[in-house]
Amino acid sequence: MLKSAPTTAAVAAALIALCGCERTEPEAATVAAAPQHPDFSGIYFPAGRQQDPQRPVYTPPAAAALAEYEKAFLLDDDPGRYCQWPGMPRAIWGAPFAVEIQQRPQDLSIYWEGYGMYRKIYMADHNPPEPVLPSAMGHSVGHWEGDTLVVETTNLKPYPYMTRQATSSDAHVVERIRLEERDVEGQKVKFIVNEVVLTDPKIYTTPIKITGTLRHRPDLQLLEYTCTDALWDEYLTKRGLTLPDMDALAAP
Amino acid sequence: MKIRLTALLTALAVVALPAAAHHSFAIYDMTQNIEFEGVVETLKMRNPHMALTLTVTKPDGTTQTVNFVEGAPANMIVRMGLNPADIAVGKPIKTIGAPRRDDANAYFLKAIILADGRRFSVIN
């Protein structure tokens, strides 16, 4: 697995960004030669979410679809239970599992332990590829505005679960992602603050603003999360099949 | 930092969050805290919900299998500090369960209490 260690210059740039310090002349000269940006690489854990408006206003056709959906679907009819990825932008605030970010100059790779979701953010100035198929995570292209990473995501496949922040193929997600250092119980802790604007005029009458926060957790490791285990067990039970107990086999 | 399912359930109350969480827990009567003492018969340390069955010896000496059909995600409960070896098949443990409303022998696993007294509450 690739692991991009932050360069001294990147760390210095991040610290400058965090403390709001003015750059001195020699540092500015170095930065001009090779622009440095915050390094988001690391392991994080979801640490909160805010939304405005809290109750989005649906367009009349979407409101009708919601009414039909609520008549037919129960809360337990949950796509997540059947391992459907929440996808973007829902993944940002996420399930209570670790998230790993690996950053390179040309892209960021983000891996969510929950559901095993994976996403790539291509940097606009590094010849990003064209989107191929609509997907749950969509096609994301980013650029830097100072120390903020601005990412636009399109090519999302519909998420037609009306009570779960539904989105259509027209969904457009803009993220403004930055690092913040906060004092937590006397310790300086790194947070990623992601200000998301979801626009989907087929469904919502206004853009929805969501702020998702991730806390840096270098003490955590990513664990495997195979969502389909329970489904497979249910299938075997339904079929009346019992798998051999490999651990009970006699050793030679 | 302890990560409790309580936090997840609290989060479930937020209108849009269930996209990333799982189903509601309305099928269980979560107001109940039924305590069982027995021996682990089967264990599935899996996501999105662990499951186990417990062999309980009744006062008349007969045994009964109690089916905890789901509990915390395996990843969440090990992050709380539970070593799966402590609840391996054959280990004596106590559990707290909330019954399904439509199946009195199926429970949500609210807490595990090990023989040494350590308690792993996934919901209070």
ipTM: 0.72
Q: Which CATH superfamily is domain B5-15+27-121 in?
A: Nucleic acid-binding proteins (2.40.50.140)
Contact A149, A136 (CB under 8 A): no
pLDDT value at residue A36? 87
**Assigned domain for A49 exists:** yes
Identity of the residue numbered A185:
E
| Domain spans in chain B, listed from the N-terminal domain onward | 5-15+27-121
| Minimal Cβ distance to B19: which of A54, A86, A226 | A86
- What average pLDDT score do residues A155-178 get? 96
Residue A103 placed within a domain: yes
Asked whether the beta carbons of B40 and B71 are under 8 A apart, the reply is no
Q: Kindly report, residue by residue over A146-164, the tens digit of the pLDDT.
A: 999 999 999 999 999 998 8
Q: Which domain holds residue A142?
A: 39-235
Residue A192's identity, in one-letter code, is: I
Q: Do B48 and A227 touch (CB under 8 A)?
A: yes
Return the DSSP state at A167. Answer: B
Interchain CB distance below 8 Å, B46 and A81: no
Q: Is B10 on the interface with A (CB under 8 A)?
A: no
Report yes or no on A252 lying in a domain. no
- Give the alpha-carbon dihedral of A24, A29, A32, A38, to 10 degrees: -40
Residues from chain B that touch A78, judged by Cβ atoms under 8 A, are 18, 22-24
Average pLDDT over residues A182-209: 97
| Domain count for chain A | 1
Looking at the DSSP bridge assignments, the partners of residue B42 are: B53
Average predicted confidence (pLDDT) for chain B: 83
Cis peptide before A129 (omega within 30 of 0): no
The pLDDT of residue A34 is above 90: no
